[in-house]
Amino acid sequence: MKKILILGSTGSIGENTLNVIKKFPDKFKVTGLVAGKNSEKLQRQIEEFKPKAIATLDTSFDSHVKTYHREEGIIRLIKEIEFDIVVAAISGAAGIIPTYEAAKRAERLALANKESLVCAGMFIKKVAKKIIPVDSEHSAIFQALSSGREEDVKEIILTASGGPFHGKEKEQLKTVTPETALKHPNWNMGNKVTIDSATLMNKGLEVIEAMWLFNIPVEKIKVVVHPQSIIHSIVKFQDNSFIAQMGKPDMRIPIAYALSYPERLKLQEGLSMDYTNLNLTLKEPDTETFKCLNLAYESVKRGYPYPIILNAADEVAVESFLKGEIPFLSIPEIIEKTMDILNIESPTTVEDVTRIDKIARETAEKLIKNFIR
């Protein structure tokens, strides 16, 4: 039986992970839960899964199990409890240090926090024993790569749903509200990831993550829009054969694979798909209207620390959009201006990553304050 630590247990990935674990009590045991401030949901999880310890950002929360508080408490929990697999699902840059510390101790890092590799891939890759991606796209690539040798890969092709505004022109996006941007047609995700899907930044971050995960130059990583979200990604080999992984757009499938690899669990509950009636389309992304994807490529071209700056500015801009402070189309503008303003040396430690992240956030926040005025 594998002992599981979940970083971000009350978020979408965390909840789906617990749903999988619940179905296979003979294979997995939750030993630790880490959550933000959703104390009501955390309490329900404690009662159902009975972890050895929990950590929360809610300093008023107390429990009958061993409880740690604040960011430093999260790190203490990671260093003190036993676990075989860590599911890294804390949203955003806040998950970088916990993911890094947990990767040092885990037999397996089941990675859902893409920002960890985007910002600190050079450090996490050094300490992690085994990384199995949880993102559906990277899980698909991981599986497809088993069909050939690393040196035979010609291209990696990430699929993007296109989000709620696929096919829209820039003029139509001027009046977008947070409510409409959060209505993803296929996936049930957290607010930040859903907005990133709408801007195509989510796919840009996934390009950078794929570069680290699969040791492939960013020039060999392409993106296509696939509105049906059935093909989760494709690998093209030197002989021009394409290997794709397909399935329903449900995060329980890649989560289960990351937990059980190389075994495949018997998943039920409507996850089967009628493959006799598929209508699949693949299109080039509109990077003129949705600039964030190209900004991600540009950040890699400029070199580190620009992917860190890209991610930090995006988190700040998305939060501001969700508060109604800036329009949807200003998100890439804030990111690009932040990247243009800053000139910082590449990080040499994971602590440098958090320092650069803070500087980039402060810069983006100042730009937004000037915009609001």
pLDDT the model gives residue 371: 80
pLDDT the model gives residue 243: 98
DSSP of 189-246: --HHHHHHHHHTHHHHHHHHHHHHHHT--GGGEEEEE-TT--EEEEEEETTS-EEEEE
DSSP 8-state symbol, 260: H
Count of H helices and E strands in the chain? Answer: 14, 11
pLDDT the model gives residue 166: 84
DSSP 8-state symbol, 349: S
Parts of the chain with a pLDDT under 70: 187-188, 373
Residue-averaged pLDDT of the chain: 95
pLDDT the model gives residue 184: 76
Query: Where are the domains positioned within the chain?
Result: 2-133, 136-162+200-283
Task: Give the residue from 287, 132, 134 showing the smallest Cα distance to 201.
Answer: 287
Q: What angle do CA 183, 8, 97 make, to 5 degrees?
A: 120
pLDDT the model gives residue 185: 72
Contact 259, 139 (CB under 8 A): no
pLDDT the model gives residue 373: 64
C-alpha gyration radius of the chain: 20
Q: Catalogue the long-range contacts made by 352-355 (C-beta closer than 8 Å, 24 or more residues apart).
A: 353/96, 353/119, 353/120, 353/123, 353/305, 353/308, 354/93, 354/96, 354/97
pLDDT the model gives residue 330: 96
Contact 228, 281 (CB under 8 A): yes
In Å, what is the CA distance from 247 to each residue of 119, 133, 136, 178? 29, 16, 10, 29
Q: Does domain 2-133 have CATH number 3.20.20.300?
A: no
pLDDT the model gives residue 187: 65
pLDDT the model gives residue 307: 98
